[in-house]
Chain A
Amino acid sequence: MSGATARRTITGGWADLSDTVERKSAPPGTERLDRVIIRFAGDSGDGMQLTGDRFTSASAIFGNDLATLPDFPAEIRAPAGTLAGVSAFQVHISDHDITTPGDAPNVLVAMNPAALRNELPRLEPGGTVIVNEDAFADRNLTKAGYATNPLTDGSLEGYTVFEVPMSSLTLGAVEPLGVKPRDAERSKNFFALGLVSWMYTRPVDDTLRWIEAKFAKVPLVRDANVAAFKAGHAFGETAELFDHPYQIDPAALPPGTYTSINGNTALAWGLVAASQLSQLPLFLGSYPITPASDILHELSKHKAFGVRTLQAEDEIAGIGAAIGAAYGGHLAVTTTSGPGMALKAEAMGLAVSLELPLLIIDIQRGGPSTGLPTKTEAADLLMAYYGRHGESPLPIIAARSPSDCFFAAIEAARIAIKYRTPVILLSDGYLANGSEPWRLPEVADLPDISTTFATAPNHTMQSGEEVFWPYLRDPDTLARAWALPGTPDLMHRIGGLEKEDGSGNISYDADNHERMVHLRAAKVAGIAKDIPEVVVEGPDDADLLVLGWGSTWGAIDAAVNRVRNNGRKVAKAHLTHLNPFPQNLGDVLRRFPNVLVPEMNLGQLSRLLRAEYLVDVRSVTKMRGEPFTAGELESAILDTLGGNP
């Protein structure tokens, strides 16, 4: 064993953060931390996502609260060792309630020089770096753009650096099993996982069982990964590099059954739930696109729920088939990301005209054009509002956290079905791939969103003939009658041409068109009566309201808590319904002297709020393909309030 040296002890440079809580002293032999942020980084082929994911699961099962931020390039395998190929996974684990994947990592695990170079700037001052020393050879250093070796040239001064020869130690552990040297190298991420699991006293049995199950089909790989994991764990224990492991106690979360969930899985399950709760079979028409494809993957598994999925020939066919399924009486869904939204725009307009229930789910990513396919952004709000020709309003819902995607899907379905309208549901790449512990709801507590179909004529002609008029509306909801093909005597035709109010016959009449435009707008606007008012959390006399939508929720929550702990009077509120807005939103905005609106766009909600309520708001924006950190929003809040904390 060579060269492993510790230059500094871990200090926990995060102790000054105000969302950190006081803890009693640690049990003997360990040091107790209230939370830690670890960032795993390596080549795209190094299995960093898998490693991070597994560390997350072990922490979740242990009972910590957590939040994750997978951060990977669009290329499946960029050239090995290059900066472009670095794939990272950040996880924040704690013994108390947290809502973000953390600001600056405390610990960076870097599997090669490129990972170190890419990720070191994120690390907190004085943070801990664990490197795979074996990867710091000349060729890799050159590929990463290092002129000299950062492990020896003093550039890591000030950090706590652990140089661990992970590749050779892994090789030594797996070679006796008969693994070829070239293949042995591929188990080194499990060595790293074993080491970090020891450092943070993660339970090992569950991870070993998981490795055995995951690689059961290839016994040699399974055994190599188990051996590497155990070797990493043993290295931590015996190498005397590390003073002691750290303990992060389980968080005091509300009682219940928990699972670890990411946004796309929660969304897919929410759609299955919506199908059960509405008693309408689920249909998904979708075309593969990052970061939405996992919803298609997940739903395609659930045929026992009567879920039909179609991987369509293109985005337009995805929504087209969904419109056909909606016409046939299914709960119809199409999933996509920004570029696909653009392609679906015409069909969305058709759905507005047909007044059929339909869910259009946009997992937003960086744009314009192909943009940043694997990075997050929330810049499709105005497109969701206005991205169709003509006056074609439709309701918009946005999820705020990975687990909230489940409830957002049910709420979107409720509105779509009740009001016979397409609904846009906005999520984003951060929610889609990020995960958190989720206290599972009781199925019995979920809402009934079932509906009724027309079964008899609803209009009497002057001649006395009983007929079905597809565009007769419910006076309260303005939802039109919905008769499914196959229903005797209610045969009717609908389409994209303007329809006569009531009968649904083609009409080019001027008065009728104006009436229909207003009716469609009034129907969507009227949904405001049927959604919860926006809830303000914080003092009535707060100096500032932070208003958010979508995935900024976690960072806003953490930032507001920090400034409140420093004695500032700040309130926060979060929008789930973006169109229509909650009825009390205008009053809420006018109640506070300052309103701050953080968005991962250039201020789209801010524009809407100013236009709708003639209230000025301060926009704080971020367009870096990654979510806000709590620290950034803390600064923005303090900056708005003025003066020092």
Chain B
Amino acid sequence: MTDLIPVTTRKDWSSDQEVRWCPGCGDYSILSAVQLLMPDLGVRREDMAFVSGIGCAARFPYYMNTYGLHSIHGRAPAIATGLAMTRPDLHVWVVTGDGDSLSIGGNHLIHALRRNINITILLFNNQIYGLTKGQYSPTSEVGKVTKSTPFGSLDHPFNPLSLAIGAEASFVARTHDMDRAHMLETFRRAHEHKGAAFVEVFQNCNVFNDAAFEGVTAKTVRDDMLIPLRHGEPIRFGREAQHGVVLDAQNGARIVEVADVGEDALLVHDEARTDPSVAFMLSRLARGPYEPTPIGVFRAVERLEYGSEVNRQLVDAVASKGVGNLAALLRSGSTWEVG
């Protein structure tokens, strides 16, 4: 009954607009990954809508040959909420940054997540304000010296994943701009998730905060510093898979040597666990991108999706009352006749 989805290539998903990020910006590799992924999703270009706020990341929609709305600072999750609630036939993606959605738009982010709006949120975290030329962001580390913190930042940073898991987001994942295959797989999972999917992408700002994540993402250290989370498997990492993660009643999640505790003691990753506590503990494993850091899908649980529930109430109302009739509505209070 449905028409076949036309076969497309990356080029079909690229708009005619010149990409205007700084040369060397991590955004390029994220854009490539998304454009490469699209032809494989079985989705029509016209059914895809990218919504963004303000910031470097927020220019993303202009470069996608889809529908797109580049809005105002921090409000993309709210705007996407309205679009996803009214147009369940669309696939709505939100592209945002750490300033956009953790500072000025923090409220909209957490509420979109708790409502479980059917949107896919990519948060490009570069721990800096790029478009306004280099102020510290809500994910910048304490002590960070920037234009607005010449004596070092005093602000305790947000951990984006802890925040999302705290809001009981139904899908929470992390990937980074140095690993295309991992991005592709993570974005695909996020897209396929029904409800709000939140993906933190470690993204390098080579102008204002270069190498912020190099301590964990550089090819030379990656094996020992990134902890891949795989559903149903014991959590291990290291060149020889010699490190692991255990859950400990006293200290929560912590890193151990597999040789010390034995493989059976390792935490088996369960992304579908309804209770968010373990996912939260995993999000706290690294204090910053200088300690071994989990990547992959932290949490993917089924929860009622908001737009579908809104639709269900409309369908139920029509089933029980019939389709609304305006003349009857106007006469629904007490009425009387004159003349």
Contact = CB atoms under 8 A, between A and B. Distances in A.
A569 to B, nearest CB: 33
Contacts of B130: none
A492 B48 CA distance: 11
A327 interface: yes
A316 B339 contact: no
Nearest to B67: A485
A313 B107 contact: yes
B266 interface: no
Nearest to B333: A259
Contact of A304 (B46, B47, B322, B334): B322
Interface in B91-126: 107-108, 111
Contacts of B69: 324, 327, 354, 493-495
A490 B46 contact: yes
Contacts of A324: 51, 69, 78-86
Contacts of A327: 49, 69, 79, 82-83
Contact of B82 (A259, A323, A354): A323
Contacts of A488: 44, 46
Given A327-B69, A491-B65, A61 B87 contact: no
Contacts of B15: 493
A269 B314 contact: no
Interface string B299-331: 000000000001001101110011110110111
Contact of A496 (B46, B70, B86): B70
Contact size class for B?
35 or more
Given A320-B108, A324-B81, A306 B70 contact: no
B81 A258 contact: no
B326 A276 contact: yes
B178 interface: no
Nearest to A490: B46
B66 to A, nearest CB: 5
A272 B82 contact: no
A255 B336 CA distance: 10
A491 B46 contact: yes
Q: Which one of A253, A350, A493, A496 has the highest number of Cβ atoms from chain B below 10 Å of its Cβ?
A: A493
A307 B323 CA distance: 11
Contacts of B66: 491
B38 to A, nearest CB: 12
B80 to A, nearest CB: 6
A273 B324 CA distance: 11
B82 A485 contact: no
A259 B330 contact: yes
Nearest to A268: B329
Nearest to A206: B334
Interface string B219-233: 000000000000000
A402 B133 CA distance: 52
Given A283-B85, A324-B82, A491-B45, A61 B324 contact: no
A342 interface: no
B322 to A, nearest CB: 7
A321 B336 contact: no
A576 interface: no
Nearest to A441: B330
A490 B61 CA distance: 15
Given A440-B330, A486-B47, A317 B89 contact: no
A492 B83 contact: no
A317 B78 contact: yes
Interface residues of A, number: 72
B339 A495 contact: no
Contact of A485 (B46, B78, B317): B46
B7 interface: no
A443 B327 CA distance: 6
A315 to B, nearest CB: 10
B62 A255 contact: no
A253 B71 CA distance: 51
B83 A325 contact: yes
Contact of B62 (A256, A314, A493): A493
Given A255-B339, A493-B69, A61 B334 contact: yes
Contacts of A259: 330-331, 333-336
Contact of A492 (B67, B71, B87, B314): B67
Interface in A310-341: 310, 312-314, 316-317, 320-330, 332
Contacts of B64: 493
Contacts of A313: 78, 107-108, 111
Given A269-B330, A485-B46, A495-B69, A304 B78 contact: no
A541 interface: no
B17 interface: yes
Contacts of B78: 285, 312-313, 316-317, 320-321, 324
B72 A347 contact: yes
B44 A63 contact: no
Contacts of B331: 257, 259, 440
A302 B324 contact: yes
Contacts of B107: 313-314, 317
A580 interface: no
A320 to B, nearest CB: 3
Interface string A338-354: 00000000110110001
A305 interface: yes
Q: Which one of B65, B68, B90, B330 has the highest number of Cβ atoms from chain A below 10 Å of its Cβ?
A: B330
Contacts of A272: 324, 326, 329
A276 B81 CA distance: 23
A317 B108 contact: yes
Nearest to A251: B338
Contacts of B67: 485-486, 491-493
A260 B46 contact: no
Given A61-B336, A304-B317, A496 B71 contact: yes
A304 B321 CA distance: 7
Contacts of A346: 72
Contacts of B108: 313, 316-317, 320
Given A308-B85, A440-B335, A496-B72, A323 B324 contact: no
Interface of B: 15, 17, 44-47, 49, 51, 61-62, 64-72, 75, 78-87, 89-90, 107-108, 111, 310, 313-314, 316-318, 321-324, 326-327, 329-331, 333-339
| Closest 4 pairs (CB-CB, A-B) | A255-B339, A324-B82, A495-B70, A320-B78
5 contacts: A255-B338, A257-B331, A306-B314, A324-B83, A493-B17
Given A276-B326, A329-B86, 9 more contacts: A254-B338, A269-B330, A272-B329, A303-B316, A320-B75, A328-B82, A354-B69, A493-B17, A494-B70
